[in-house]
Amino acid sequence: MSDADDANQVEAATARNVLEFIVESLVEDPDAVEIELDDGGRRLALNVSVARDDMGRVIGKRGRVAQAIRQVVRAAAARDGVEVDVEFVD
**pLDDT values of the chain reduced to their tens digit, one per residue, 90 residues:** 444 444 446 688 999 999 999 999 999 999 999 999 988 778 899 999 999 999 999 999 999 999 999 999 999 999 989 999 999 998
**Could you tell me the pTM of the whole model?**
0.85
**Number of folded domains in the chain?**
1
Query: At 35, phi and psi to the nearest 5?
Result: -125, 120
Query: At 25, phi and psi to the nearest 5?
Result: -75, -25
Q: Which domain holds residue 31?
A: 3-89
CA distances (Å), origin 67, targets 5, 61, 62, 86: 33, 11, 9, 9
CATH code at position 41: 3.30.300.20
Residue among 50, 52, 88 at smallest CA distance from 70 = 88
